[in-house]
Amino acid sequence: MSKRVNGRTRVFVYGTLLRGEPNHRLLARAGLVGEARTRPEFDLVDLGHFPAIIEGGSTAVAGEVYEVDRLALAALDRLEGHPSFYRRERIRLDGGQVVEAYLLPAEQAWSEKLIDTGDWRDR
């Protein structure tokens, strides 16, 4: 189970929700836990204006972990189209922490442009 602190959920973000990116405003009231990486079990795909994590790869994806309340989590779900587009799922980060993250089913990824470094900012 993902870690909940004071009724908050820890969420791993890796694209347009990162600090300095256009959708970060949705995390304005969230608490930054810190920078993190996934285990090397994913692919990071460039879908144009935003990325997607796909399970089954060999890349450690770079991002940030935030503690969000239920209202912020609902806003993130709307932005990410959960569960019809992205699916919010529990993942284990490098180091063992379990968090929520938005993953894209491989069959929905229309791009094969991988970001080999695992860092959206390197695109």
* Tens of pLDDT, residues 34-59: 999 999 999 999 999 999 999 999 99
Q: Does any domain span residue 70? A: yes
Q: Does any domain span residue 64? A: yes
Phi, psi of 11 (to 5 degrees): -125, 130
pLDDT band at 1 (very low <50, low <70, confident <90, very high): very low
Half-sphere exposure of 34 (CA within 13 A, CB side): 7
Instruction: Give CA separation, 81 vs 75, 84, 105, in Å.
Output: 10, 6, 13
Integer Cα distance of 85 and 64 in angstroms: 21
- Average pLDDT rounded to a whole number, residues 82-95: 97
Q: Does any domain span residue 71? A: yes
Q: Does any domain span residue 33? A: yes
Give the CATH number of the domain where residue 87 resides. 3.10.490.10
pLDDT at 111 (0 to 100): 73
Q: Does any domain span residue 97? A: yes
Average pLDDT over the chain, rounded to an integer: 94
Q: Are 98 and 91 in contact (CB under 8 A)?
A: yes
pLDDT at 87 (0 to 100): 97
107 CB-near residues (< 8 Å, 6+ apart): none
Indicate whether this model's pTM tops 0.85.
yes
Instruction: Give CA separation, 65 vs 43, 56, 108, 110, in Å.
Output: 18, 21, 25, 27
Domain extent, residue 81, equals: 4-108
> What is the domain count for the chain?
1
pLDDT in tens, 105-123: 988 887 779 999 999 999 8
Q: Does any domain span residue 123? A: no
Q: Does any domain span residue 121? A: no
The catalytic residue positions are 80
pLDDT at 3 (0 to 100): 53
Q: Does any domain span residue 118? A: no
